Amino acid sequence: MRFLNTDDLKSKEIQLIVDRLSEANLDRNWVPAYHFHICDLHGNIMGSCDLRIGYTEGLYYGGHIGYSVKEEYRGHHYAAKACKLLFSLAKKHDMSYLYITCNPDNLPSRKTLEFLQGDFLGVKELPENNDMRVNEGETHKCIFKFQLSSLD
């Protein structure tokens, strides 16, 4: 996979600035990923997000996109706005859908995924051998699917 230019990942409010790029790790069954800072148009870092490129069973549970917004910047839909920019990048990689997941008790993240109008597939139990279960003690994820062809 070839990483693409991401200079166009900006809106009227935010821009995504590359923090680092991660090559695939076949030993761990990890796909290539972009890691970004979510910034205002002046370059102030307000949070972070990442996009994982490809499809694996683990991404059904872990999701293609992860995001975090610093507490002082919450309440402005910055995570959702970042996801929309990442949707456009995923389309450039010829991806047709993405999974985004959150912990069942993470209501702000779940509201973000509902705001983005993802299809809620349910609260699913993590497999016994899943890294999030083994390393972090997590047992369930809310799973949302986004059909990129139906998103603007």
pTM, full prediction: 0.94
Q: Identify whether 3 is part of a domain.
A: no
Q: Identify whether 79 is part of a domain.
A: yes
Q: At which residue do the structure tokens 């369930």 appear?
A: 140
pLDDT tens, residue by residue, 132-143:
889 998 999 999
Q: Identify whether 138 is part of a domain.
A: yes
Handedness of CA 92, 93, 99, 105 (dihedral sign): negative
In angstroms, the CA 81 to CA 63 distance is 17
pLDDT tens, residue by residue, 91-107:
999 999 999 999 999 99
pLDDT tens, residue by residue, 48-101:
999 999 999 889 999 999 999 999 999 999 999 999 999 999 999 999 999 999
Q: Identify whether 5 is part of a domain.
A: no
CATH number of the domain at 125, please: 3.40.630.30
Task: Please state the domain count of the chain.
Answer: 1
pLDDT tens, residue by residue, 21-48:
999 998 888 899 999 999 999 999 999 9
Q: What is the pLDDT of residue 57?
A: 87
CA 12 to chain centre: 20
The answer to whether the CB of 125 falls within 8 A of the CB of 99 is no
The answer to whether the CB of 18 falls within 8 A of the CB of 46 is no
Q: What is the pLDDT of residue 152?
A: 60
Domain coverage including residue 81: 14-150
Query: Which has more pLDDT, 10 or 29?
Result: 10
Strands (E), the chain: 14-22, 33-40, 45-52, 65-69, 97-102, 119-125, 140-147
Q: What is the pLDDT of residue 59?
A: 94
Q: Identify whether 2 is part of a domain.
A: no
